Amino acid sequence: MINKVRGRFAPSPTGEMHLGNAWTALLAWLYVRSNGGTMVLRIEDLDPDRSRPEYTEALIADMKWLGLDWDEGPDVGGPYPSYCQDQRRPLYEEALGALSARGFIYPCYCTRAELAASAPHAGENSQRYGGNCRTRRDVPLNRHPALRLTVPDGIVEYNDLVRGPVAQDVSEVVGDFVVRRSDGVHAYQLAVVVDDGLMQINNVLRGDDLLDSTPRQILLYHLLGLTPPDFAHVPLLFGQDGHRLSKRQRDLSLAALRQHGVRAEDINGYLAWKAGMLDQRRPMVAAELIRLFTLEKLPTSPIIVKDDDFANCG
């Protein structure tokens, strides 16, 4: 029997939803809806310094405005509560306990300066942790340790639905990575695996800025005895300045576009056209796009949003 698709959109409530978030939200939703699956909304409010409840509320309102819906989420509940990471910390601790019991976790007391000093030459594997604390004997007083995963040697491989075969030697590229920060906040890499695993998510469609993280996550799935989902990493949207769209570009927030008279149909149609689902740009209601959905026509080159792309919509 083929498993029913369970997909999700997992935004971090750290700013206003912008066109780039709408792009991944729409594609993730279309993937699920075109397969008759279950859509999950999970709020990734793991970082207490950056997350704000008002952004969660605005996000939910923006998604509804776009015409996207979900079957499970913070506002509607579902069989795998909670749908906010902030409430799921005991589950992350449980996972850490399981990894620790098998000898995969060690404390890391490195300061920023020590990390910078031990990093290999700039340019080559500069994000790789050299493993200082794997064998550290002294325990520095007055320092709270981060927790790292002992990464086993070997290549992690998977087949991305958009990018094709992906392979990474995690121990070579990133080394032992942090699973809980020194301030006690669980790392995204751990939380996302625990959440997607326990929520039975079997399709993760998200931006390709997370392509590099995926082998780390697959490793964690295996170590935790969870089944990895299918992954589809879609290209990000870039501004004309060559930078990827971010929450800092206020003028492309959905709220700002809406204020300028841009309608949800203008945005959905524009994004579907950029994804290759429409030959011409034209307004589309999200639900009308379900029958047109395909990942096959996604461009492989960066997708550029021009400054005046929405100038005539209002």
The residues annotated with a catalytic role in the active site are 247
Residue 214 vs 268, nearer CB to ligand GLU: 214
The two tokens of residue 215 are 């082998």
Which position has the token pair 């620790």?
A: 100
Q: Which residues bind ligand GLU (CB under 6 A)?
A: 10-12, 44, 192, 206, 210
- Least distance to ligand GLU from the beta carbon of 61, Å? 17
Residue 85 vs 106, nearer CB to ligand GLU: 85
Q: For residues 132 and 218, give the distance between their C-alpha atoms in angstroms, rounded to a whole number.
A: 24
Residue 12 vs 253, nearer CB to ligand GLU: 12
- Least distance to ligand GLU from the beta carbon of 202, Å? 14
Residue 96 vs 192, nearer CB to ligand GLU: 192
- Least distance to ligand GLU from the beta carbon of 182, Å? 21
Distances in whole angstroms, Cα of residue 49 to Cα of each of 11, 183, 297: 16, 11, 39
- Least distance to ligand GLU from the beta carbon of 10, Å? 4
Residue 148 vs 206, nearer CB to ligand GLU: 206
- In this structure, which amino acid lies at residue 187? A
- Least distance to ligand GLU from the beta carbon of 192, Å? 5
Distances in whole angstroms, Cα of residue 251 to Cα of each of 241, 257, 269, 302: 14, 7, 19, 20
- Least distance to ligand GLU from the beta carbon of 105, Å? 22
In three state form, how does the secondary structure of the chain look? Answer: CCCCCEEEECCCCCCCCEHHHHHHHHHHHHHHHHCCCEEEECECCCCCCCCCHHHHHHHHHHHHHHCCCCCEECCCECCCCCCEHHHHHHHHHHHHHHHHHCCCEEEECCCHHHHHHHCCCCCCCCCCCCCHHHCCCCCCCCCCCEEEECCCCCEEEEEECCCEEEEEEHHHHCCCCEEECCCCCECHHHHHHHHHHHCCCCEEEEEHHHHHHHHHHHHHHHHCCCCCCEEEEECCEEECCCCECCCCCHHHEHHHHHHCCCCHHHHHHHHHHHCCCCCCCCCCCHHHHHHHCCCCCCCCCCEEECCCCCCCCC
Residue 158 vs 273, nearer CB to ligand GLU: 158
